[in-house]
Structure 1
């Protein structure tokens, strides 16, 4: 069963006119700061629908760096946290990235919730999480038995040591077509020092 992409024909600028968190024009990357909006709550996508930002556009502090993705609005399907999530496949496989400040030499933990678009497409959705362009974790999700109301999110985690004063975290789909892995509830936190004995 295919679902309509009619809502994607709305002009993003019109949809989000006047919003401080609107999709940025190509090349307008935000100045790196703390990691933010890991649950993709801003800007607000239409309820029970989605928008499809493409390469060079932004979802709040996230930049679409290749292909396009679907920003899923409240009610379209179950979110892991908050109301919204991101399908890493819009009409094609996409990549989202966020650059944020880090302390060189510090170890950080990345956690996120993973599911897959349960409506159409391949049964197994695949992709990878990257740090500064380096593949840090491959992921896959099987949608068998899943639905829009029971997405079956699983928690994933990995750590990295910051090499620079800024770090770029990205999530990329390796799934063909327009129904890919779903990402939500991304968090990046410095690891706490081990207590002394």
Structure 2
């Protein structure tokens, strides 16, 4: 199991490195659409997207993911969300402008697809290909109308003028993975100078 998880993270890291190389040659903008609202999936249904396809400003960088449409299940914010397991484990990533040396806080809503096992869904949040936060969510007792979203948060210091944020599933069995929604990234205000007294 650990070997498979390592392979998923390694594959995601390679794909993120490639995505970062591409992004540096393009215009990079602010972080956008953390609620996965565009494009719209069919109401009460979902679209399966594979590596190389996009979900608005997000790119599918490994495996496949499901873009969940309005009404299919409860969203944390807006109408849509992403199941990080499409046909199997997948990953999404977005490149956005950052200030080198600045600190950023990432918050996101986490749940899991309660439609099938395993009950414990696992994944990782990555920054520039590095695993910043492992996450897990137990879907026992949850349903499409009561997803039970929880908020997760971490901080990172930007090393360049563009940063890649990604979410990858490490749930290796089946199409029922961790669910991510309402991703927000804010630059932390610099600390005030220390007083002399």
TM-score normalised according to structure 1 size: 0.84
Deviations along 1:30-77, one digit per CA (max 9) or x if unpaired, are: 742000000000000000000011000000000000000000000000
Q: Which residue of 1 aligns with 2:68?
A: 72
The yes-or-no answer on 1:114 pairing with 2:110 is: yes
- Match for residue 137 of structure 2 among 119, 141, 144: 141
Provide the rounded CA distance (Å) in 1 between the counterparts of 2:100 and 2:178. Answer: 31
Deviations along 1:118-170, one digit per CA (max 9) or x if unpaired, are: 11120000000000000000000000110000000000000000000000000
The yes-or-no answer on 1:186 pairing with 2:183 is: yes
Aligned residues: 170
Secondary structure of 1:52's partner? strand
Question: Which protein, 1 or 2, shows the higher relative CO under an 8 Å CA cutoff with sep ≥ 6?
Answer: 2
Secondary structure of 2:100's partner? coil
* Aligned pairs (5 A) from 1:1-197: 31-176=27-172, 177-196=174-193
Structure with the higher helix share, 1 or 2: 2
Provide the rounded CA distance (Å) in 1 between the counterparts of 2:67 and 2:117. Answer: 17
Provide the rounded CA distance (Å) in 1 between the counterparts of 2:117 and 2:39. Answer: 26
Provide the rounded CA distance (Å) in 1 between the counterparts of 2:154 and 2:53. Answer: 27
Provide the rounded CA distance (Å) in 2 between the counterparts of 1:121 and 1:51. Answer: 20
